[in-house]
Structure 1
């Protein structure tokens, strides 16, 4: 029996392929989550910007496309970027990609909106400066502490190694190169940088990428973050190969982007996929769509360590508690659907703990003696399993947020996070826990239905 993978409360398109979150912003009373979208196929052949809006970070509506690859400067793709409100106007910054006869040209472009629904392109505002290849993209625009605006970009230098480049502007429209603020000697490309202040300190997020420069192909990449001593500048570029932490220890997390909401919190979304090749093809084979964004997460600091937890609005959702039954293997929960959260606080020290979702589609184990966390998922391309492991000196609390085909696990109030997509195979949703004491506060709660709705424009299907 085939079980659909369509999510019930994560942002995803009704058809096609989603990847990087772009243009996250609070604008005129709504949250906006733009994202890379191929509305024509479930592959990476064409990229536009799709978007969804929400009044509360919980109830989302898909709105169709915002920016299409319909101009000479973005004909082969409206690539990743960001959003910023300037003078009441919504500015969308993105990379326009042109690739003809094997030659790539990247330009940083601007589109504007007065209402968050209709978008007008103003064209390129920055071309690739000397010293870089055309792997020059992903503009994230932020207010500059010195006045005006700063744009950070992922880049590859002419020597084939990665960098984070800075551009500066006084009005958000006219930009000039500002030099490299970070350099890599190990990675051939840096993607999706994000620069912001968090609890009084500057923070830089980015994605180091190994590439085969001869074949112009990505080999591997991941997402990292680091707390800085001072706002970076080109006079003293950062060493991008050291001093960072991985933002997510799981299987599926990439290209995170953050934005500041009116109450001051820093909210993060990531692309919840790192599927490639056969794995990606098989996952989307019987679906009209593939990939989704992570749940929105609050990003915060504990000293120099970056932590993530589900946004308060989702934590405060009302839900239906589901009672568990004691079995010989632990406590078994049988929720009516796969959209639920499971929380356990004040965990007893020095105890092992295991969670098994849906008969083994996904599992978690904490080994107290080894002080390690192991997360596994069942593969869908063969009979094996994929494994991720991380060190954790002690386990004090956990939150597991589940959807139809995903799990996001937060340990010790966001100290360690694991994200995963998996293939649904069990007709009866279930969660088996083993290791909690009877006194441990633990609860499984069904999430409300109808948190995410498709409201596509009919013309988007053509």
Structure 2
């Protein structure tokens, strides 16, 4: 084991022990989401199954709560909700990756757990990105001595060597495939494909797809999989400008595309998305969602997880010893042209007290029995026919006399707004995000809200849309208050969520 990896493991152990011994530090952490054990995390990496256990790796800097030289942290789970922290597995400790071990994926093949990652190194005064391989047993991973295995020499056209990263690895019919993103000569993103028989020598196959200036300035974190008879590609886009219809927001956006990868040319033909009539649509409309990655569970479910944070709206309190968490893992279903996403069903195993109400009438301000706290699964169902004269309903989460986080639905504009302005931040960051919700032909609006210490994930109309945002409020701000402009009639069901002992 290298000194760098040994030091990283010692630091994460030190911080984890400090947290375990301090009640206040423990109270800051989420109950049913994976969060950094120590220091900074960002992209999920290597989300995969190996010998029946689900593994999650992640971009990791255990030495502080801001981004630094990238390592790979590691955790495992048997149910997607409770996570076991494992020792870090990769550190920037070789000539191929001494500037960082960037994002990648993992696959089980031939009895081995194989990691593909981006190694960053310096060449002629420039940090260049190449693709590397490591192989392990679920605990310890050894990097190939021949790393990097894919470099500029393997790409038959010019591109920016500073931007070639995030390999997606899979094994199919005895052949390894690796897809990675790069910044092409036109200064926009492209997704390129390679194949190999032995993981060491790789051959360029095709450019699967390219932005050509149409989808941001750079692509990141690709994922490719089949779902519901369609090929699905996930991408995280940099350098997007917001459009007036609300289909995209400024900065980084995570999107999906559906279509077909032509088997002969290995190129992707995009289909139009029903959400917006375009050939790419947002996966999540909130502030804090980036770099999603999926895995195929042994029972056939396609499960997605993402970094629940925002590069351009850093909000971790200075006194925290950790920064960054992941979304709740989400089951993906592609049905009738829509990509639905909902929390994994295992979350129901963590339900405690349950409360519900039918045809509740709200005029002004009210609270409801059992609807309080910072860890719950709350569903709200409203019929447009019942609320023709209502203007809006607002739910104040994490509320006390000073603090609150707002979630507001406007009946006439068909918009949902999140506002963390009064959550307790003492610095100016992006705090408000509004999304459009096209009217559903059923005339029903359903909001499923997962609240966990410092995050609020909302799944709309059965998972057609998702809206993910974080906030950091004092833990004793735990009231939930309903307010309306006009009279609102709704049903609710609330389940408290607790840790398993």
* TM-score, length of structure 2 as denominator length: 0.80
- Is residue 307 of structure 2 the alignment partner of residue 271 of structure 1? yes
* 1:70-149 alignment, distance < 5 Å: 70-99=93-122, 102-114=125-137, 116-122=138-144, 123-128=147-152, 129=155, 130-134=157-161, 135-144=163-172, 148-149=175-176
Please report how far the alpha carbon of residue 152 of structure 1 lies from its aligned counterpart in structure 2 after TM superposition. 1.4
More deviation in 348-357 or 328-337?
328-337
Partner of 1:343: 379
Rate the CA distance shift 1:442–1:323 in 2: closer, same or farther, 3 A: closer
Answer whether contact 1:163 1:190 (CA < 8 A) is retained: yes
- Is residue 71 of structure 2 the alignment partner of residue 40 of structure 1? no
The higher relative CO (CA closer than 8 Å, separation ≥ 6) is in 1
Please report how far the alpha carbon of residue 209 of structure 1 lies from its aligned counterpart in structure 2 after TM superposition. 1.4
Q: Return the alpha-carbon distance in structure 1 between the equivalents of residues 293 and 492 of structure 2.
A: 32
- Is residue 464 of structure 2 the alignment partner of residue 443 of structure 1? no
Rate the CA distance shift 1:272–1:70 in 2: closer, same or farther, 3 A: same
2:410 to 361, 367, 378: 367
Q: Return the alpha-carbon distance in structure 2 between the equivalents of residues 384 and 177 of structure 1.
A: 41
Partner of 1:304: 337
Q: Return the alpha-carbon distance in structure 2 between the equivalents of residues 142 and 150 of structure 1.
A: 5
Please report how far the alpha carbon of residue 196 of structure 1 lies from its aligned counterpart in structure 2 after TM superposition. 0.5
Unpaired runs of at least 5, structure 1 = 212-218, 452-462
Answer whether contact 2:350 2:499 (CA < 8 A) is retained: no
Rate the CA distance shift 1:188–1:97 in 2: closer, same or farther, 3 A: same
Please report how far the alpha carbon of residue 154 of structure 1 lies from its aligned counterpart in structure 2 after TM superposition. 1.3
Partner of 1:388: 434
* 1:16-415 alignment, distance < 5 Å: 16-99=39-122, 102-114=125-137, 116-122=138-144, 123-128=147-152, 129=155, 130-134=157-161, 135-144=163-172, 148-186=175-213, 187-210=216-239, 220-231=251-262, 236=267, 243-276=279-312, 279-280=313-314, 283-321=316-354, 329-332=365-368, 337-345=373-381, 347-350=382-385, 351=387, 352-359=392-399, 361-378=404-421, 380=425, 381-382=427-428, 385-394=431-440, 395-415=444-464
Please report how far the alpha carbon of residue 232 of structure 1 lies from its aligned counterpart in structure 2 after TM superposition. 7.1
Q: Return the alpha-carbon distance in structure 1 between the equivalents of residues 282 and 356 of structure 2.
A: 36
Please report how far the alpha carbon of residue 327 of structure 1 lies from its aligned counterpart in structure 2 after TM superposition. 8.7
Please report how far the alpha carbon of residue 240 of structure 1 lies from its aligned counterpart in structure 2 after TM superposition. 11
Q: Return the alpha-carbon distance in structure 1 between the equivalents of residues 202 and 369 of structure 2.
A: 56
Q: Return the alpha-carbon distance in structure 2 between the equivalents of residues 62 and 17 of structure 1.
A: 14
- Aligned to 1:7, the other structure's residue is in SS state coil
| Residues 420-444 of structure 1: per-residue CA shift (max 9 Å, x gap) | 1112146231222356999854222
Answer whether contact 1:335 1:429 (CA < 8 A) is retained: no
Q: Return the alpha-carbon distance in structure 1 between the equivalents of residues 430 and 301 of structure 2.
A: 41
Answer whether contact 1:160 1:188 (CA < 8 A) is retained: yes
Answer whether contact 1:258 1:269 (CA < 8 A) is retained: yes
Aligned length: 438
| Residues 245-277 of structure 1: per-residue CA shift (max 9 Å, x gap) | 10000010000000100111100000001143x
Q: Return the alpha-carbon distance in structure 2 between the equivalents of residues 414 and 59 of structure 1.
A: 23
Answer whether contact 2:294 2:305 (CA < 8 A) is retained: yes
More deviation in 5-14 or 295-304?
5-14
| Residues 116-157 of structure 1: per-residue CA shift (max 9 Å, x gap) | 01111113221132422220000011244x762321111101
Q: Return the alpha-carbon distance in structure 2 between the equivalents of residues 448 and 410 of structure 1.
A: 20
Unpaired runs of at least 5, structure 2 = 1-23, 241-249, 273-277
- Aligned to 1:358, the other structure's residue is in SS state strand
